[in-house]
């Protein structure tokens, strides 16, 4: 047998044993026999580097070191799920579905595992890339680390699509987590807090060999891509198992919301029997055509919902109420507590939200309070144990002045929060605005973190985000923990931010109520900061999906002299404050005033590209047909109910070719 065949044979054999052990949980050889075969393969590969393969089983042991993780744009966006906490909310969700979708609706129930979301890309059956969820639009390439996870197939088997993405969770089983912590305690290290955070942190370790020593697993649950030959979610799960993926066997197909609730009730009781952390059930409409008809909101799919199990709750003593100032000047009251263990973490602080919440719960310093940690990252106080209250305690008097600059607080009519109006003189507001400006979804300045921003402000090197562009290496070297290389990285990161496109710069400015989606909409319509600054409230409100509150906030922001000065400085420093000529060249107003719905499978361009073409040419994309829909772009295998609704409403139905001809 020649060497290449020998190497290929060993790879295939070891891949099958990996699958038997880590996916099927049915090992057919001993660990010793497996290790001997792996060593044989390693030796052959070292002797014959011409047969190198990134997907060889020998790559599972890691060894690659990643200094910085490349940012990768997701080909298909990774949406987050909307949450429900009661039977009534689930039933309301089903009612909304029935209004849009006709015919029988089936649901797939899947356990919601608490781990780190991941998207795996396969081409020709080989693992090409692994990317974290990030902000849903883009994430970090963690391929080197994910290759070390034994339940992730490096090479698929069976009849798989040429190219597709599969999404899932990287989790750390309880047993492996306990073993890791026991080893840390033995060597005098602090134990890890909980499996979820440890799994998430593992993906960003620089040394993949260290990742390979952690007993991580990858549970997959969603296949996405173009022309993948799958008609439903449940069919996708079954096919993924056959291709070699670890798909949880607890997923079930249900014919009614009553059956869904039975599934939820069962797992709410039995979830602690599982080897992994789970905090709820994800319910999805099974049929892909129906999913297509339902579409997505700006943040989450309409065809899926997460039912969260009741949050864990503990009682502890509230020692003191303090107040935090956010970048917009919003004041948040914080309860400082006796330490309490809750959902795998030690909790010492909890949010009290605002003055109304404190008054409603009648929370006082010295009270024994109930603390809850559900879907939120930050724990919250949900009640008071009045049986343990000191009869001499006084009601809480909400702060009247800013805890940082002592300015008298204001509360606008109709708003729940108090604000510090000292916008340009209150340190947390100054620091917070700059931290927002440099954040990943905004200017994404590498080498500059929140703590460094605070150091720069406190050292009086900067007063606002425009001042960042005046910094020199010699200015920042004297700062605490600032070495030569760190200073160089920071200056280079600031310089590179000049290439960030206009819509992200607009988001970075920190205009109240202007999030990522609104910033994109404003940038696309006005095309430059000058045009936006000149816009009236009336002009803004006339824009689709821009309400009075956003319009007022934008106009008010640019009324402030300091904000206008910062923008002028950013212009001088070469920041992108208008849509680039290249991007403008690809945009027209040909489709302005027209609303489109896309349904089915297309040959020449993908669904995402179709949406982009519509938006780039002034049209609007909607997920459901209404009387306002001008065109239904119909592909192969489109949903019959969408077609019927379009015909009923007299909507013009066009093909992919018809649409492309419109652009010509």
Confidence of residue 54 (pLDDT cuts 50, 70, 90): confident
- The yes-or-no verdict on residue 1 having pLDDT over 60 is no
Q: Is 603 annotated as a binding residue?
A: no
- The yes-or-no verdict on residue 21 having pLDDT over 70 is no
Q: Do domains 3-61 and 427-499 have the same CATH topology?
A: no
- The yes-or-no verdict on residue 60 having pLDDT over 60 is yes
For the structural domain made of 3-61, what CATH number should be given?
1.10.287.610
- The yes-or-no verdict on residue 608 having pLDDT over 90 is no
Q: pLDDT tens, 229-248?
A: 899 999 999 999 999 999 99
Q: pLDDT tens, 361-394?
A: 899 999 999 998 754 456 888 889 988 988 899 9
Confidence of residue 128 (pLDDT cuts 50, 70, 90): very high
Q: Please classify residue 347 by burial: count the beta carbons closer than 10 Å to its beta carbon, then call 0-12 exposed, 13-18 middle and 19+ buried.
A: buried
Beta strands in 471-521 (DSSP E): none
Q: Is 167 annotated as a binding residue?
A: no
Q: pLDDT tens, 210-229?
A: 888 899 999 999 999 888 88
Q: pLDDT tens, 297-348?
A: 777 899 999 998 877 788 999 999 999 998 889 899 999 999 988 766 788 9
Confidence of residue 419 (pLDDT cuts 50, 70, 90): very high
Predicted local distance difference test score (pLDDT) of residue 320: 96
Q: Tokens at residue 91, please?
A: 């039933």
Q: pLDDT tens, 252-303?
A: 999 999 999 999 999 988 887 888 888 899 999 999 988 888 888 777 899 9
Q: Is 80 annotated as a binding residue?
A: yes
Q: Is 218 annotated as a binding residue?
A: no
Q: Tokens at residue 229, please?
A: 């030959």
Q: How far apart are CA 271 and CA 277, in angstroms?
A: 8
Q: Please classify residue 458 by burial: count the beta carbons closer than 10 Å to its beta carbon, then call 0-12 exposed, 13-18 middle and 19+ buried.
A: exposed
Question: Averaged over 399-419, what is the pLDDT?
Answer: 91
Question: Averaged over 19-42, what is the pLDDT?
Answer: 71
Question: Averaged over 406-425, what is the pLDDT?
Answer: 89
Which helix (H) or strand (E) covers residue 595, if one does?
Answer: strand 595-599
Per-position b or e across 480-504, b if 16+ CB within 10 A of its CB: eeeeeebbebbbebbeebeebebbb
Contact (CB, 8 A) for 653 and 613: no
Count how many residues are written for the chain: 664
Domain ranges of the chain: 3-61, 73-308, 427-499, 502-584, 595-663
Q: What percent of the chain has pLDDT over 90?
A: 43
Query: Backbone phi, then psi, for 653, in 5-degree steps?
Result: -105, 125
Q: Tokens at residue 105, please?
A: 């609706």
How far apart, in Å, are the Cα atoms of 267 and each of 113, 252, 260, 272, 482?
A: 12, 12, 11, 9, 51
Question: Averaged over 535-547, what is the pLDDT?
Answer: 85
Predicted local distance difference test score (pLDDT) of residue 62: 53
Q: Tokens at residue 292, please?
A: 């297509």
- Written out in words, the top-level CATH class of the domain with range 502-584 is mainly alpha
Q: Which residue has the higher pLDDT, 502 or 83?
A: 502
Domain 595-663: CATH superfamily is BRCT domain (3.40.50.10190)
In this prediction the pTM is 0.63
Predicted local distance difference test score (pLDDT) of residue 508: 94
DSSP state of 207: B
Q: pLDDT tens, 159-190?
A: 999 999 999 999 999 888 888 887 777 777 77
Predicted local distance difference test score (pLDDT) of residue 286: 96
Q: Is 465 annotated as a binding residue?
A: no
Mean pLDDT over each residue of the chain, to the nearest integer:
87
Domain 427-499: CATH superfamily is 5' to 3' exonuclease, C-terminal subdomain (1.10.150.20)
Predicted local distance difference test score (pLDDT) of residue 58: 72
Q: pLDDT tens, 86-96?
A: 889 999 999 99
State yes or no: is 112 an active-site residue: yes
Catalytic residue among 5, 112, 246, 645: 112
Sign of the Cα torsion 290, 291, 296, 301 reads positive
Q: Is 276 annotated as a binding residue?
A: no
Predicted local distance difference test score (pLDDT) of residue 555: 95
Predicted local distance difference test score (pLDDT) of residue 586: 66
Per-position b or e across 561-593, b if 16+ CB within 10 A of its CB: eebeebbebbeeeebbbbbeeebeeeeeeebee
Q: Is 405 annotated as a binding residue?
A: yes
Question: Averaged over 648-654, what is the pLDDT?
Answer: 91
Question: Averaged over 56-79, what is the pLDDT?
Answer: 75
Q: What percent of the chain has pLDDT over 70?
A: 95
- The yes-or-no verdict on residue 31 having pLDDT over 70 is no
Q: Is 133 annotated as a binding residue?
A: yes
Q: Which residue has the higher pLDDT, 445 or 612?
A: 445
Q: How far apart are CA 202 and CA 180, in angstroms?
A: 12
Q: Is 300 annotated as a binding residue?
A: no
The domain defined by 73-308 folds into: D-amino Acid Aminotransferase; Chain A, domain 1 (3.30.470)
Q: Tokens at residue 313, please?
A: 């709750």
Query: Backbone phi, then psi, for 247, in 5-degree steps?
Result: -110, 120
Q: pLDDT tens, 499-521?
A: 999 999 999 999 988 988 789 88
Q: Is 420 annotated as a binding residue?
A: yes
DSSP structure string for 250-284 = T-EEESSHHHHHHHHHHHHHHGGGSSS-EEEEEEE
Q: Is 189 annotated as a binding residue?
A: no
């Amino acid at each position: 047998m020649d060497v290449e065949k020998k190497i290929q044979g060993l790879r295939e054999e070891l891949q099958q044993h990996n699958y038997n052990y880590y996916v099927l949980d049915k090992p057919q050889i001993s660990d010793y026999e497996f290790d001997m075969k792996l060593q044989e393969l390693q030796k052959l590969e070292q002797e014959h580097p011409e047969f190198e393969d990134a997907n060889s089983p020998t790559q599972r042991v890691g060894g690659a070191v990643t200094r910085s993780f490349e940012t990768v744009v997701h080909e298909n966006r990774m949406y987050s799920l909307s949450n429900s906490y009661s039977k009534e909310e689930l039933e309301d969700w089903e009612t909304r579905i029935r209004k849009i979708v006709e015919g029988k609706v089936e649901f797939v129930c899947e356990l919601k595992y608490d781990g780190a979301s991941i998207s795996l890309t396969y081409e020709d059956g080989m693992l090409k890339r692994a990317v974290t969820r990030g902000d849903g639009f883009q994430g970090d390439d963690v391929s080197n680390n994910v290759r070390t996870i034994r339940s992730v197939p490096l090479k698929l088997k069976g009849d798989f699509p040429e190219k597709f993405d599969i999404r899932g969770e990287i989790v750390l089983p309880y047993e492996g987590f306990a073993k890791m912590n026991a080893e840390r305690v033995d060597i005098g290290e602090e134990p890890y807090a909980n499996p979820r955070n440890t799994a998430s942190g593992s993906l960003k370790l620089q040394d993949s060999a260290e990742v390979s020593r952690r007993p991580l697993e990858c549970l997959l649950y969603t296949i996405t891509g173009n022309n993948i030959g799958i008609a439903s979610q449940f069919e996708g799960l079954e096919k993924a198992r056959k291709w070699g993926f670890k798909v949880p066997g607890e997923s079930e197909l249900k014919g009614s919301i009553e059956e869904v609730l039975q599934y939820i009730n069962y797992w709410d009781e039995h979830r602690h029997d599982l080897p992994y952390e789970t905090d709820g059930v994800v319910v999805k409409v099974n049929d892909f055509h129906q999913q297509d008809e339902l579409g997505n909101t700006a943040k989450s799919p309409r065809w899926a919902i997460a039912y969260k199990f009741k949050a864990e709750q503990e009682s502890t003593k509230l020692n003191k109420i303090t107040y935090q100032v956010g970048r917009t000047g919003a004041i948040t009251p914080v309860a400082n507590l006796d330490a309490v263990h809750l959902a795998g973490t030690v909790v010492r602080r909890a949010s009290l939200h605002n003055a109304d919440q404190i008054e409603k719960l009648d929370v006082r310093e010295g009270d024994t309070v109930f603390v809850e940690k559900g879907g939120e990252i930050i724990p919250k106080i949900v009640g008071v144990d009045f049986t343990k209250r000191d009869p001499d305690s006084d009601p809480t008097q909400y702060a009247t002045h800013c805890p940082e600059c002592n300015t008298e607080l204001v509360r606008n009519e109709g708003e729940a929060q108090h604000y510090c109006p000292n916008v340009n003189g209150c340190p947390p507001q100054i620091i917070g605005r700059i931290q927002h400006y440099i954040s990943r979804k905004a200017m994404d300045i590498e080498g500059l973190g929140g703590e460094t921003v605070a150091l720069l402000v406190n050292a009086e090197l900067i007063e606002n985000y425009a001042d960042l562009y005046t910094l020199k290496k010699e200015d920042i070297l004297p700062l605490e923990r600032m070495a030569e290389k760190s200073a160089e990285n920071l200056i280079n990161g600031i310089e590179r931010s000049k290439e960030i496109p206009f819509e992200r710069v607009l988001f970075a400015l920190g205009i109240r109520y202007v999030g990522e989606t609104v910033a994109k909409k404003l940038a696309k319509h006005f095309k430059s900061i000058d045009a936006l600054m000149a816009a009236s409230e009336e002009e803004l409100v006339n824009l689709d999906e821009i309400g009075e509150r956003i319009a007022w906030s934008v106009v008010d922001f640019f009324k402030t002299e300091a904000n206008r000065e910062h923008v002028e400085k950013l212009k001088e420093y070469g920041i992108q404050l208008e849509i680039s000529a290249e991007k403008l060249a690809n945009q027209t107003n040909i489709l302005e005033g027209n609303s489109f719905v896309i349904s089915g499978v297309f040959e020449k361009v993908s669904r995402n590209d179709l949406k982009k073409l519509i938006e780039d040419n002034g049209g609007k994309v909607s997920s459901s047909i209404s009387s306002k829909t001008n065109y239904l772009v119909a592909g192969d295998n489109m949903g019959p109910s969408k077609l019927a609704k379009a015909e009923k409403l007299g909507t013009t139905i066009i093909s992919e070719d018809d649409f492309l001809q419109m652009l010509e």
